[in-house]
Amino acid sequence: MAVLKKKYVDINDTLRHIRLQVKEGKQWADENIPYFITPTELYHWLRIRTTYKNDPDGIELLQSAPTLFDNNFHGTPGAGDCDCFTIATLTALNKQKFNGKPWIKLAGRNTSYPVHIWAGIDHKGQEIALDLTNRRPFEERKYKHIQKIYFNPL
């Protein structure tokens, strides 16, 4: 299941598949992602390895970390969109020894159809957004509706 290409069903279906993709990337993360002292160090390590690329029209494309970086659908290592970056970030956070709770945020103009997703972690009393579509950690775009969902490590 390294690449999941399917028609978009709904956000709950996408979240189930994101969880499966994170689980699939666990061994790859153990072998390829170093340990970091802070979540911001992890963000910078991931950020320089990713390039934003839209999904193909009409397709929900979810790439596990091994696929995103080693066998990319677009033919460019690290090329993907916000859900691919969220999978990579959650996979990397799952390996780290940070004392905190990882999470995802869903954002959109209404509560039914999110248009953006990103990961982050509550770490040492601070909420740290790790949105690889932004230039810096902590940055979050403004949306009318944002829902934070804690992501239980695998």
Q: Is the pTM of this model over 0.85?
A: yes
Question: Of 86, 94, 120, 121, which is closest to residue 11 (Cα–Cα)?
Answer: 86
Residues of the chain below pLDDT 70? 1-9, 153-154
* Span 115-153, pLDDT tens digits: 999 999 999 999 999 999 999 999 999 999 999 999 986
Question: Of 127, 124, 120, 86, which is closest to residue 103 (Cα–Cα)?
Answer: 120
| CATH code given to domain 3-150 | 3.10.620
- What is the domain partition of the chain in residue ranges? 3-150
pLDDT recorded at residue 2: 56
pLDDT recorded at residue 128: 98
